[in-house]
Amino acid sequence: MGRRLAVPAVLMLLLISLTARLEGADRYVLKVAESERFGPILTDGEGRSLYIYTNDTVGPSGSVSNCTGACTRNWPPLLADGELKAGEGVDAGLLGTIEREDGTTQVTYNGWPLYRFARDRNPGDVRGQRLGGAFFLISPEGTPVEEERQRVVEVDPATLSALMSNGEQIFSSRCAACHGNRGQGLVGPAFAGNSALARTDYVVPMILNGFVEHGMPPWRDVLSDWEIASVATFIRNSWSNEFGPVTEEEVSAMR
């Protein structure tokens, strides 16, 4: 009996020590991932997207994180625990650290203090991109990622016309009071000729999450993916705007 057990037990131990070693070898602070929408971006060791905050102070005499207190609930700083290890494609020379006001040590890249976004759940999530116009993904070169890859979403003419007519109804009942029935703007900004609408990755999160402090209500619990795709398509393609459709799938991926 004892002998029969001995072999599997030894094998188990071997396996455990092997996996432990493999995991150890993979414990990077920073890695590079290929984002479908944004190209190469920095991630933490587990592949979760990292962000920089444009309101941080970054300069030759050292950087200061201005995301403190409540801000860190949404944007947990990437803390250095042990050796800084750069994965493939990461420029080790750009890695650094700063001390935060609470005494913890935060990882920096090209001087930028790095954060995760609390609502990103899985590797590949980029829900924090451009939030508040202040948080951005960061490239392996150490610069904020501003451009989204040009994507051509194809929808057939029937879907496009359904999006437009549905979007027009939602717009007049839900949005026109603040944005003007001709998109001319009232309490909210004008949509006619508004180039900010060119970016799906800006428009859709804005409609989903709003900007409550500035008077823009969130619609995530009010409108479905299809309805948000419709109203986004409508405002992007009315009053001589020609920014192309937004699909239900795109909204669902950003929700």
Find the binder of ligand HEC among 40, 47, 188, 218 (CB under 6 A). 188
Q: Residue 96 or 132: which CB sits closer to ligand HEC?
A: 132
The CA distance from 39 to 49, in Å, is 12
In the complex, least distance from residue 198 CB atom to ligand HEC, rounded to whole angstroms? 11
H-type helices in 86-179, by residue range? 157-170, 176-179
Q: Looking at residue 189, what DSSP letter applies?
A: P
Beta bridge mates, 106: 79, 98
By CB under 6 A, residue 64 contacts ligand HEC? no
Q: Residue 144 or 188: which CB sits closer to ligand HEC?
A: 188
Interface characters, 167-186, with ligand HEC (x: CB under 6 A): -------xx-xxx-------
Q: What are phi and psi of 45, to 5 degrees?
A: -60, -25
In the complex, least distance from residue 196 CB atom to ligand HEC, rounded to whole angstroms? 4
By CB under 6 A, residue 204 contacts ligand HEC? no
Q: What are phi and psi of 32, to 5 degrees?
A: -115, 135
- Cβ atoms of 205 and 250 closer than 8 Å: no
Element (H, E) at 95: strand 95-99
Taking CB under 6 A as the binding criterion, the range among 12-20, 49-57, 68-76, 202-210 that sits at the site for ligand HEC is 202-210
State both tokens at 205: 């999160």
> Residues in contact with ligand HEC, total (CB under 6 A)?
21
Q: Which of residues 207-226 bind ligand HEC (CB under 6 A)?
A: 207, 211, 214-217, 219
Q: Residue 138 or 206: which CB sits closer to ligand HEC?
A: 206
By CB under 6 A, residue 42 contacts ligand HEC? no
The CA distance from 6 to 40, in Å, is 48
- Cβ atoms of 161 and 153 closer than 8 Å: no
Q: Residue 150 or 195: which CB sits closer to ligand HEC?
A: 195
Q: In angstroms, how far is CA 119 from the centroid of its own chain?
A: 9
In the complex, least distance from residue 74 CB atom to ligand HEC, rounded to whole angstroms? 17
Find the binder of ligand HEC among 206, 208, 246, 254 (CB under 6 A). 206
By CB under 6 A, residue 231 contacts ligand HEC? yes
Give every CB contact of residue 23 below 8 A, 6+ residues apart in sequence.
none
By CB under 6 A, residue 111 contacts ligand HEC? no
In the complex, least distance from residue 19 CB atom to ligand HEC, rounded to whole angstroms? 48
Q: Residue 19 or 165: which CB sits closer to ligand HEC?
A: 165
Task: Indicate if the alpha-carbon torsion angle 147, 148, 150, 152 is positive or negative.
Answer: negative
